[in-house]
Amino acid sequence: MHVLILGGTTEARRLAELLEAELPAGSRVTSSLAGRVARPKLPPGEVRVGGFGGAGGLAEWLRTHQVHALIDATHPFAGTITFHAATAAAAAHVPLLMLRRPGWVPGDGDDWHPVGSLAEAADALPGLGRRVFLTTGRMGLAAFADLDELWFLMRSVDAPEPPCPARMETLLDRGPFTLEGERELIRRHRVDVLVTKDSGGAATAPKLAAAREAGIPVVVVSRPPVPEGGAVAGGPEEAVAWLRVLTG
Ligand SMILES: NC(=O)c1ccc[n+]([C@@H]2O[C@H](COP(=O)([O-])OP(=O)(O)OC[C@H]3O[C@@H](n4cnc5c(N)ncnc54)[C@H](OP(=O)(O)O)[C@@H]3O)[C@@H](O)[C@H]2O)c1
């Protein structure tokens, strides 16, 4: 049994841990990382790093490494690899499961402004605040680079590269984050608007509660589309159950 996990998320690491314990001796679990983060938290089992060279390259990898099951546990905003996974799995006749954590849902007291892209988030910002807590990651900062009137607190795992907003303070940090910590950041930096992707999951959710408490608006970037049909799991335990059924 050889399972390939397309990773780069907390859930992918957790799944690799569960499969290490679950699968019979002699099985292989390989986690694949894109290589975006300089010092990633590594899962147990085998790890490979770097792109496959498109859907065709991934299909070839599945064949030559005799993969029995492919689990796409990438981030909900990693839209390209998810479509490549669907195409490659079909071409190589390998069963595919998409592991997708549920998106966040606004609650009482939330002032959320859903947008379709980072560019739309940038368009919405001047009407909402002046001091922005930007948590959409270091990629795609170019969308905010022309907003000279606004000040940004930009948080990411690794340092960003230009183009970036002119008035930007960088905070290098990696989740999970706490409500106390997020509350303190908003207070200390006098943040008056938060920008986030609808990533879902508990590790980065406290900023939403902190924004609600502070009474500030939140610009929420909606998820990109995913391939139609196919098996979907909401969490690592469900993915293990899918694999159990698959292997009988
Ligand atoms: N996008 C986010 O907000 C975000 C947040 C947290 C973590 N991540 C993680 O960061 C990675 C890259 O995200 P992205 O948004 O740049 O992805 P993407 O736009 O969907 O993928 C771009 C290309 O990167 C390569 N790639 C992506 N994920 C890979 C993986 N797990 N293993 C091997 N190659 C991979 C593929 O290259 P080839 O075509 O050459 O195969 C893919 O075509 C993902 O693994 C994702 O889980 C992303």
Give the side-chain half-sphere CA count within 13 A for 198: 20
pLDDT averaged over every residue in the chain: 97
State the SS3 of 122-162. HHHHHHCCCEEEECCCCCCHHHHCCCCCCEEEEEECCCCCC
Can you give the pLDDT at residue 248?
A: 83
Residue 78 Cβ inside 6 Å of ligand 1? The answer reads yes
Res. 119: pLDDT tops 90: yes
Sequence-distant (≥ 6) Cβ neighbours of residue 64 within 8 angstroms: none
Res. 197: pLDDT tops 90: yes
Cα of 67 to ligand 1 centre, how many Å? 20
Take atom 47 of ligand 1 and give the residue whose Cα is closest. 74
Residue 75 Cβ inside 6 Å of ligand 1? The answer reads yes
Q: Looking at this protein, which amino acid is placed at residue 69?
A: A
Rounded mean pLDDT, 216-221? 98
Can you give the pLDDT at residue 74?
A: 98
Cα of 180 to ligand 1 centre, how many Å? 31
pLDDT band at residue 192, thresholds of 50, 70 and 90? very high
Take atom 8 of ligand 1 and give the residue whose Cα is closest. 75
Res. 246: pLDDT tops 90: yes
Residue 51 Cβ inside 6 Å of ligand 1? The answer reads yes
Q: Which atom of ligand 1 is nearest to the CA of 73?
A: 47
- Look-up of token digits 């905070």: 171
Closest CA to 217 of 197, 240, 193: 193
Distance CA 104, CA 83 (A): 23
Take atom 39 of ligand 1 and give the residue whose Cα is closest. 54
Rounded mean pLDDT, 25-36? 96
The one-character DSSP state at 226 is -
Report CA 127 to chain centroid distance, whole Å.
27
Percent residues over pLDDT 70 in the chain: 100
Helices (H), ranges, 54-203 = 54-64, 79-92, 118-124, 179-188
Instruction: Encode pLDDT of 173-188 as tens digits.
Output: 999 999 999 999 999 9
